[in-house]
């Protein structure tokens, strides 16, 4: 029996060693063929700008083609489930977002995946701060005055967003709940149509990405009342946050980032993370992304990105409960 235990232990050690060597070899050889990056949005949107810009840099660095596959639909869940089912070999990645990993799993019934267990976080790529804006003619110049006006006119205000169950929609619903305001949600098919209606006076309030609103803020056509996150935007630190007027309010940052299927080997995960960070932070890529309205941000490690996902999901669970939103 002792001899049998020794043999079994030796066999187990040999097996672990072989697996470890196989993982290391897999990471060392990656990539040997084109890499597919699945995105949850249609061509031409913000996500497409980011993934194609970073993809071009990766193609140059890795000498392998980055193939972008647009899979819109299901609140981002179609793209996420495509990557969920892929092999964890580094050749299928997801351009994820708060939509795919916070909102869809909580509010879209057909989102049949676990946002944490079914993916390997790699790195965040950019942040898209969200703000509250009104037309230049609106009878309030700051958030305090806006709150007073809204409470004096219950039910008379509506707020637009880029669509139902988007980060902008939930930010607006949470603001209503937190401040005790009565406003009707008006969903649009994207931020640009919503901005068009705000400028035309069709809606009095809009929750939107800062990059969508900046040119109109700077031209004086609209007024920005506050940023929705816990911290001021690094791009526009002059704009106060909601929490500076209403302490305790904040929504998680709206972000875009890269993930792989679950169970990617650690050596491969580290290598893919390093190559992504190198591409995202390349001077030409950073300059182009910042000019397109992104705030470039990368994760120091896959583990740091994973922690951000866990924290964000917890906050959105609270937002869902506070805003009394159900799954659809």
pLDDT at residue 327 in the model = 58
* Residue in the block written with tokens 């089912």: 85
Averaged pLDDT, 285-309: 94
CA dihedral 44, 101, 120, 300 (to 10 degrees): 80
pLDDT at residue 2 in the model = 52
Residue positions counted in the chain: 328
Strands 35-39 and 66-70: parallel
Answer whether residue 170 shows pLDDT above 60. Answer: yes
Residues ≥6 apart with Cβ < 8 Å to 194: 160, 161, 162, 186, 188, 203, 206, 208
Q: Per residue in 180-228, pLDDT tens? A: 999 999 999 888 899 999 999 999 999 999 988 999 999 999 999 999 9
Q: Per residue in 150-165, pLDDT tens? A: 999 998 999 999 888 8
**Cis ω on the peptide bond leading into residue 286 (within 30° of 0)?**
no
Mean pLDDT computed over every residue of the chain: 90
Show the domains of the chain with their CATH numbers: 32-127+253-323 (3.40.190.150), 130-244 (3.40.190.10)
d(CA 155, CA 256): 34
Q: Per residue in 55-99, pLDDT tens? A: 999 999 999 999 999 998 888 899 999 999 999 999 999 999 999
* Residue in the block written with tokens 């040997």: 32
d(CA 218, CA 239): 12
Q: What is the pTM of this model?
A: 0.83
Q: Per residue in 19-44, pLDDT tens? A: 444 445 467 899 999 999 999 987 87
* Residue in the block written with tokens 């920005």: 224
pLDDT at residue 11 in the model = 47
């Amino acid at each position: 029996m002792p001899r049998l235990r020794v043999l079994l232990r030796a066999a187990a050690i040999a097996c672990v060693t072989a697996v470890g060597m196989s993982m290391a070899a897999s990471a060392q050889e990656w990539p040997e063929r084109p890499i597919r990056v699945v995105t949850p949005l249609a061509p031409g949107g913000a996500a497409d700008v980011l993934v194609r810009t970073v993809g071009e840099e990766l193609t140059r660095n890795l000498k392998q083609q980055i193939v972008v596959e647009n899979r819109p639909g299901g609140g981002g869940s179609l793209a996420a489930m495509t990557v969920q089912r892929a092999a964890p070999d580094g050749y299928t990645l997801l351009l994820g977002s708060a939509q795919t990993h916070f909102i869809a799993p909580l509010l879209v019934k057909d989102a049949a995946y676990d946002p944490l267990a079914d993916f390997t976080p790699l790195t965040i790529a950019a942040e898209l701060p969200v703000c509250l804006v009104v037309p230049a003619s609106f009878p309030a110049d700051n958030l305090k005055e806006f709150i007073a006006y809204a409470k004096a006119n219950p039910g008379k205000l509506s707020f637009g967003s880029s669509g139902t169950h988007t980060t902008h929609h939930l930010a607006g619903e949470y603001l209503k709940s937190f401040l005790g305001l009565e406003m009707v949600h008006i969903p649009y098919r994207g931020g640009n149509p919503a901005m068009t209606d705000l400028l035309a006076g069709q809606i009095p309030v809009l929750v939107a990405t800062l990059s969508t609103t900046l040119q109109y803020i700077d031209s004086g056509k609209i007024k920005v009342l506050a940023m929705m996150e816990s911290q001021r935007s690094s791009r526009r630190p002059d704009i106060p946050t909601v929490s500076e007027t209403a302490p305790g309010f904040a929504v998680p940052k709206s972000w875009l980032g890269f993930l792989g299927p679950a169970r990617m080997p650690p050596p491969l995960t580290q290598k893919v993370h390093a190559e992504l960070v190198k591409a995202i932070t390349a001077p030409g890529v950073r300059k182009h992304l910042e000019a397109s309205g992104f705030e470039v941000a990368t994760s120091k490690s896959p583990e740091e990105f994973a922690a951000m996902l866990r924290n964000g999901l917890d906050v959105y669970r609270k937002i869902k409960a506070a805003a009394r939103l159900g799954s659809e």
